[in-house]
Amino acid sequence: MHLALFIIFGLMCLGGAVNLLLQRHPINSALSLIVVMSSLAVLYLLLGAEFLALAQIIVYSGAIMVLFVFVIMLLNAGEEERTHGSRAAYLAGIPGVMALFAVLTSTFFTLRTSFGSARLGGFLVTTQDLSRVLFRNLLLPFEVTSILILVAILGAVVLAGKER
Protein backbone atom coordinates (compact mmCIF):
# COMPACT_ATOMS: atom_id res chain seq x y z
CA MET A 1 0.00 0.00 0.00
CA HIS A 2 2.69 2.43 1.07
CA LEU A 3 4.94 1.33 -1.76
CA ALA A 4 2.14 1.78 -4.31
CA LEU A 5 1.47 5.30 -3.04
CA PHE A 6 5.19 6.05 -3.10
CA ILE A 7 5.50 4.93 -6.72
CA ILE A 8 2.39 6.84 -7.82
CA PHE A 9 3.36 10.11 -6.17
CA GLY A 10 7.05 9.74 -6.99
CA LEU A 11 6.10 9.40 -10.66
CA MET A 12 3.71 12.34 -10.37
CA CYS A 13 6.50 14.40 -8.86
CA LEU A 14 8.94 13.50 -11.64
CA GLY A 15 6.30 13.99 -14.32
CA GLY A 16 5.48 17.41 -12.93
CA ALA A 17 9.15 18.37 -12.86
CA VAL A 18 9.69 17.31 -16.48
CA ASN A 19 6.48 19.07 -17.54
CA LEU A 20 7.65 22.20 -15.73
CA LEU A 21 10.66 22.34 -18.04
CA LEU A 22 8.82 21.40 -21.24
CA GLN A 23 5.84 23.74 -20.96
CA ARG A 24 6.17 27.01 -22.84
CA HIS A 25 3.58 29.02 -21.00
CA PRO A 26 4.64 30.30 -17.54
CA ILE A 27 1.28 29.54 -15.94
CA ASN A 28 1.44 25.88 -17.03
CA SER A 29 4.96 25.67 -15.61
CA ALA A 30 3.77 27.19 -12.35
CA LEU A 31 0.93 24.66 -12.17
CA SER A 32 3.39 21.81 -12.75
CA LEU A 33 5.45 23.15 -9.88
CA ILE A 34 2.37 22.98 -7.68
CA VAL A 35 1.94 19.32 -8.65
CA VAL A 36 5.60 18.68 -7.77
CA MET A 37 5.27 20.32 -4.37
CA SER A 38 1.99 18.64 -3.49
CA SER A 39 3.30 15.18 -4.40
CA LEU A 40 6.41 15.89 -2.33
CA ALA A 41 4.05 16.56 0.57
CA VAL A 42 2.52 13.11 0.10
CA LEU A 43 6.02 11.57 0.12
CA TYR A 44 6.74 13.35 3.43
CA LEU A 45 3.49 11.97 4.78
CA LEU A 46 4.54 8.45 3.74
CA LEU A 47 7.75 8.93 5.73
CA GLY A 48 5.66 9.80 8.80
CA ALA A 49 6.38 13.53 8.83
CA GLU A 50 2.78 14.71 9.02
CA PHE A 51 3.45 18.28 10.16
CA LEU A 52 6.10 18.77 7.50
CA ALA A 53 3.73 17.45 4.84
CA LEU A 54 0.99 19.90 5.72
CA ALA A 55 3.47 22.76 6.15
CA GLN A 56 4.69 21.96 2.64
CA ILE A 57 1.11 22.20 1.31
CA ILE A 58 0.23 25.38 3.22
CA VAL A 59 3.49 27.25 2.67
CA TYR A 60 4.71 26.09 -0.72
CA SER A 61 1.66 24.93 -2.68
CA GLY A 62 -0.71 27.30 -0.92
CA ALA A 63 1.15 30.54 -0.30
CA ILE A 64 4.31 30.81 -2.40
CA MET A 65 2.85 29.29 -5.56
CA VAL A 66 -0.25 31.45 -5.26
CA LEU A 67 2.08 34.45 -5.33
CA PHE A 68 3.82 33.01 -8.43
CA VAL A 69 0.49 32.53 -10.19
CA PHE A 70 -0.65 35.94 -9.02
CA VAL A 71 2.41 37.66 -10.49
CA ILE A 72 2.11 35.74 -13.77
CA MET A 73 -1.53 36.77 -14.00
CA LEU A 74 -0.77 40.36 -13.06
CA LEU A 75 1.98 40.75 -15.67
CA ASN A 76 -0.11 38.74 -18.15
CA ALA A 77 3.06 37.00 -19.32
CA GLY A 78 2.76 35.40 -22.75
CA GLU A 79 4.25 32.23 -24.16
CA GLU A 80 8.01 32.19 -24.41
CA GLU A 81 9.82 31.68 -27.68
CA ARG A 82 11.36 28.28 -28.23
CA THR A 83 15.09 28.82 -28.90
CA HIS A 84 17.88 26.39 -29.59
CA GLY A 85 19.99 27.57 -26.67
CA SER A 86 23.60 28.52 -26.80
CA ARG A 87 26.41 26.31 -28.04
CA ALA A 88 28.21 26.67 -24.70
CA ALA A 89 25.22 25.24 -22.82
CA TYR A 90 25.35 22.11 -24.97
CA LEU A 91 29.12 21.75 -24.80
CA ALA A 92 29.54 22.38 -21.09
CA GLY A 93 26.06 21.75 -19.73
CA ILE A 94 25.36 18.16 -20.74
CA PRO A 95 28.76 16.73 -19.67
CA GLY A 96 28.53 18.82 -16.50
CA VAL A 97 25.13 17.44 -15.58
CA MET A 98 26.27 13.91 -16.32
CA ALA A 99 29.40 14.36 -14.21
CA LEU A 100 27.36 15.78 -11.31
CA PHE A 101 24.91 12.88 -11.57
CA ALA A 102 27.77 10.37 -11.57
CA VAL A 103 29.40 12.00 -8.53
CA LEU A 104 26.10 12.04 -6.60
CA THR A 105 25.35 8.42 -7.48
CA SER A 106 28.79 7.17 -6.47
CA THR A 107 28.65 9.16 -3.23
CA PHE A 108 25.27 7.74 -2.32
CA PHE A 109 26.38 4.21 -3.14
CA THR A 110 29.61 4.37 -1.14
CA LEU A 111 27.99 6.07 1.85
CA ARG A 112 24.65 4.26 1.86
CA THR A 113 25.51 2.13 4.91
CA SER A 114 26.15 5.17 7.11
CA PHE A 115 22.94 6.96 6.08
CA GLY A 116 20.70 4.66 8.10
CA SER A 117 17.30 3.69 6.78
CA ALA A 118 13.82 5.16 6.81
CA ARG A 119 10.96 2.76 6.18
CA LEU A 120 7.78 3.87 4.43
CA GLY A 121 4.92 4.19 6.91
CA GLY A 122 7.08 2.72 9.64
CA PHE A 123 6.86 5.49 12.20
CA LEU A 124 5.23 8.82 12.90
CA VAL A 125 6.86 12.09 13.89
CA THR A 126 4.13 13.95 15.75
CA THR A 127 3.98 17.72 15.95
CA GLN A 128 5.03 17.49 19.63
CA ASP A 129 8.20 15.53 18.75
CA LEU A 130 9.08 17.96 16.01
CA SER A 131 8.56 21.06 18.16
CA ARG A 132 10.53 19.53 21.04
CA VAL A 133 13.55 19.11 18.78
CA LEU A 134 13.00 22.49 17.16
CA PHE A 135 12.61 24.53 20.34
CA ARG A 136 15.11 22.71 22.58
CA ASN A 137 17.99 21.28 20.57
CA LEU A 138 17.81 23.59 17.57
CA LEU A 139 16.54 26.78 19.23
CA LEU A 140 19.47 29.01 18.26
CA PRO A 141 19.53 28.15 14.52
CA PHE A 142 15.73 28.49 14.46
CA GLU A 143 15.78 31.98 15.97
CA VAL A 144 18.70 33.07 13.78
CA THR A 145 16.75 31.94 10.71
CA SER A 146 13.74 33.98 11.81
CA ILE A 147 15.93 37.08 12.18
CA LEU A 148 17.33 36.39 8.71
CA ILE A 149 13.79 36.32 7.31
CA LEU A 150 12.97 39.55 9.16
CA VAL A 151 16.01 41.21 7.58
CA ALA A 152 14.90 39.96 4.17
CA ILE A 153 11.43 41.45 4.71
CA LEU A 154 12.92 44.79 5.74
CA GLY A 155 15.16 44.71 2.67
CA ALA A 156 12.19 44.07 0.41
CA VAL A 157 10.27 46.96 2.00
CA VAL A 158 13.23 49.32 1.58
CA LEU A 159 13.75 48.29 -2.07
CA ALA A 160 10.07 48.67 -2.86
CA GLY A 161 9.87 52.02 -1.06
CA LYS A 162 12.70 53.56 -3.10
CA GLU A 163 10.53 53.70 -6.21
CA ARG A 164 8.56 56.67 -4.88
Between CA 106 and CA 25, with CA 6 as vertex, the angle to 5 degrees is 85
Nearer to another protein by Cβ, of 100 and 124: the residue is 124
Helix residue ranges per DSSP H, 23-138: 26-46, 50-55, 65-75, 87-88, 94-111, 127-132
Provide the 10 A C-beta neighbour count for residue 98.
Answer: 10
**Considering the rule CB under 8 A, would residue 54 count as an interface residue with another protein?**
yes
Can you tell me which of 33, 34, 40, 43 binds another protein, judged by CB under 8 A?
34
Can you tell me which of 12, 19, 20, 51 binds another protein, judged by CB under 8 A?
51
Q: Are 57 and 38 in contact (CB under 8 A)?
A: yes
Nearer to another protein by Cβ, of 84 and 136: the residue is 136
**Considering the rule CB under 8 A, would residue 61 count as an interface residue with another protein?**
yes
Q: Closest distance between another protein and the C-beta of residue 54, in Å?
A: 4
Rounded CA separation 94/103 (Å):
14
**Considering the rule CB under 8 A, would residue 160 count as an interface residue with another protein?**
no
Q: Quick one: CA dihedral 92, 97, 102, 103, positive or negative?
A: positive
Rounded CA separation 133/154 (Å):
29
Can you tell me which of 8, 11, 18, 66 binds another protein, judged by CB under 8 A?
66
Enumerate binding residues for another protein (CB under 8 A): 27, 31, 34, 38, 50-51, 54-55, 57-58, 61-63, 66-67, 69-70, 73-74, 76, 124, 126-127
